[in-house]
Amino acid sequence: MSDSIYFSDEHDAYRTYVRNFLGEKISPYLSQWECDKKVGSYAWGLLGDAGFLNLNKHKDFFYDVIFLEELGRLGYGGFRVAIAVHTYMANSYIAYYGSDYLKQRYLAPATEGRLISALAITEPQAGSDLNQLQTTATLLEDSYTVNGTKRYIANGSIADFLVVAIKTKNHPRKKNAVGATGVSLFVIDSNAPGIEINPIDMLGWHSAATCEINFDNVQISKQNIIGDLNQGFIYLMKNLQLERLVAGIMVLGEISYSLDQTIGYLKSRIVHGKPLSKLQIIRHRIANLTAEYEAIKQFAYNSAWLYSHGKFAVKECTIVKLKATELSQRIAKEALQMHGAAGYEGGSEIARIYRDTPAAVVAAGTNDALLEIIAQAELG
Q: What is the pLDDT of residues 18-76, one digit of tens each?
A: 999 999 999 999 999 999 999 999 999 999 999 999 987 888 999 999 999 999 999 99
Residue 3 lies in a domain: no
The pLDDT, as a whole number, for residue 172 is 45
Q: Which pLDDT value is given to residue 343?
A: 83
Q: How many CB atoms lie within 10 A of CB 165?
A: 26
Provide the domain limits for residue 34: 9-111
C-beta of residue 199 within 8 angstroms of C-beta of residue 159: no
Cα–Cα separations (whole angstroms), residue 329 to 83, 251, 284, 285, 350: 22, 10, 18, 15, 12
Q: Are residues 129 and 107 in the same domain?
A: no
Tell me, yes or no, whether 138 and 64 share the same domain: no
What separation in angstroms does the CA of 274 have from each of 137, 336, 340?
66, 20, 16
Residues 107 and 123 in one domain: no
Provide the pLDDT for residue 369.
87
pLDDT at 179: 54
Last-in-domain residue among 231, 263, 280: 231
> Are residues 225 and 240 both part of a single domain?
no
The domain boundary residue, chosen from 207, 231, 255:
231
In this predicted structure, what is the pLDDT of residue 145?
95
State how far the alpha carbon of 169 is from the alpha carbons of 125, 182, 224, in Å: 18, 4, 17
Residue ranges, the chain, pLDDT below 70: 1-2, 170-180
How far apart, in Å, are the Cα atoms of 281 and each of 276, 287, 328? 9, 10, 20
Residue where one domain finishes, among candidates 77, 111, 145: 111
In a domain, 2, yes or no: no
Phi, psi dihedrals of residue 245, rounded to the nearest 5°: -65, -45
pLDDT at position 340 is: 86
Task: Give the pLDDT of residue 299.
Answer: 97
Residues 153 and 193 in one domain: yes
| 166 falls within a domain | yes
Residues 6+ apart with CB under 8 A from 59: none
Contacts of 110 (CB under 8 A, 6+ apart): 53, 86, 91, 94, 116, 117, 161
Task: Using alpha carbons, select from 188, 189, 227 the residue that is nearest to residue 100.
Answer: 227
Judge if 271 and 366 occupy the same domain: yes
Domain contains 172? yes
Q: What is the DSSP string of 253-318?
A: HHHHHHHHHHHHHHHH-EETTEEGGGSHHHHHHHHHHHHHHHHHHHHHHHHHHHHHTT---HHHHH
Number of domains present in the structure of the chain: 3
Same domain, 242 and 356: yes
